[in-house]
Structure 1
């Protein structure tokens, strides 16, 4: 699979606010498999390309008109090997952690002080059982991140939450959040050198 095509597919996912969990649900392809083929670590089969194209509602014309991603020309300048920091270590820590969770498409859970959620638009009957411990847990399943529509403000997180009997546009103040727990996807163990491909499986090789 050519890197320009993979780059285009990854760009489409970002533009449509989709992550691998949502794509796995719509295509029935394993989440880890999707991550591996989109990263280029494994070849994509023709069947998988067709399945992804259908999920992304791509037509043959879209492939013909796909943008060209050119390799940057070599530079004689000394390049810093360290990539730029994606988060601000001096910024609002809860906000930075939430941005990481949404950008990774990772399941994560956060705990907020129940006593600080009075104006959050979370129904009081839902908060009531958690008043004693002053700890209200909310888990954000990566499959539904797109529908949560997270909005970051200096004071709070605005987010759509499905709670019990309905969908609520909630506002969680940053100062109420005291713990964030991530559930990362476990990477595969390295395969042995004698691992062979299953014969008869067609792989797509595109040259651009």
Structure 2
């Protein structure tokens, strides 16, 4: 049984997708043991509380540095024997200490086909640049922003009159498919990492 922790800052729609996939049995032999947010009023945190999950608000303003803040979260996750950390709209950069503690065990999802359009407002970046295809990427987290080894990607066509909201909604639908899939592959020990290439065992 793999123990999964989720870090979020907002609605947690990808957290809900992973949770639903576990509840439905699509992701077997895993459970979400911990949900942590840097926002007290995050809807995703309330969703977790309503379902009886161990839920924590850790207030960034109470800590003088990113490392000090992350140390508190690391201690929580260690106490819950966390095997995998899933970032689900977590709007804080992780410290080097956090990344080192859970090396190759932190996943994130980003609304572009990385390495294109990292950082904030990826959908707007794609529209402004004029690309014809965007999408989403699940990747392992390293010490650089939106840089870690890529696990899964899904392409999404950009339509002629797309707004940022139009594109975001279509990408989000694909996020809710590939993030649970990446978690399932991790839980089933089907992912191996060589340098920065992730190999997937589909046998």
TM more than 0.5:
no
Looking at both structures, which has the greater relative contact order when contacts are Cα pairs under 8 Å and sequence separation is at least 6? Answer: 1
Larger radius of gyration: 1
Which structure has the highest strand share of the two?
Answer: 2
Query: What is the TM-score of this pair, normalised by structure 1?
Result: 0.24
